[in-house]
Amino acid sequence: MKLEISQLVGLAAAAGFTGDDLTTAVSVALAESGGDPNAYNPEVAAHAPVGYGSFGLWQIYLKAHPEFQGQNLFDPAQNAAAAFSVYSNAGSSFRPWSTFGNKMYLSHVDAVNSVIAAQQTDVVATDSGGDGGSGSSGDAGGFTPSGTDMVGLAIAGAVALWAAFRIFG
């Protein structure tokens, strides 16, 4: 079963990807696995030992990343977390993925950006539902703000509160 782009966006955001890197991460996953969490490439051409191929959505290459041995890399959340770790350890870079280097991920960028934009529009539309800001159904269109989104909202609220105290004493 292949995951929808919106599901991949949620997984990548929960793992820690943000901004343009969120788009790139999801595009890389689509280029690497087609969105199939059970994708496996034995990496025969790379002479990987049996069982040390590339696993899951982000095709985590176990030969290059033995630190993930014993983890269930077919689990979408664990694979996303491993992908974020690989990305972070590479200096916040997608260089470890071949589909980034050969630019195959670029064929997915527009579709991913469209889904992200639609999710953001759904949140805005739901929040401005005319019933005091809670939305008409309480459903945010399937979009759940990440921890980063919540931190941003908290900072914005703190700044607004600080400004109000500065202006009104």
Q: How many domains does the chain have?
A: 1
pLDDT at 55 over 60: yes
pLDDT at 167 over 50: yes
Mean pLDDT, residues 74-85: 98
What residues have CB less than 8 Å from 38, skipping those under 6 apart? Answer: 56, 74
The Cα 157–Cα 164 span in angstroms is: 11
Question: Does residue 167 form part of some domain?
Answer: no
Question: Does residue 44 form part of some domain?
Answer: yes
Question: Does residue 37 form part of some domain?
Answer: yes
Q: What is the pLDDT of residues 105-159, one digit of tens each?
A: 999 999 999 999 999 887 666 665 544 444 444 444 454 555 555 555 656 555 5
pLDDT for res 52: 83
Question: Does residue 152 form part of some domain?
Answer: no
pLDDT for res 120: 86
Neighbour order of strands in the sheet with 60-61: 40-41, 54-55, 60-61
Of the listed ranges 23-27, 52-56, 118-122, 142-146, the least confidently predicted one is 142-146
Domain holding 38, by residue range, is 5-122
Question: Does residue 155 form part of some domain?
Answer: no
pLDDT at 8 over 50: yes
Question: Does residue 130 form part of some domain?
Answer: no
pLDDT for res 129: 55
pLDDT for res 57: 98
Of the listed ranges 9-13, 70-74, 99-103, 133-137, the least confidently predicted one is 133-137
pLDDT tier at 161 (50, 70, 90 boundaries)?
Answer: low
Mean pLDDT, residues 80-104: 98
The conformation of residue 70, written as its DSSP 8-state character, comes to T
Q: Name the nearest CA neighbour of 122 among 136, 91, 143.
A: 143
Task: Express as a percent the part of the chain with pLDDT over 70.
Answer: 72
Question: Does residue 131 form part of some domain?
Answer: no
Q: Partners of 41 in the beta sheet?
A: 54
Question: Does residue 128 form part of some domain?
Answer: no
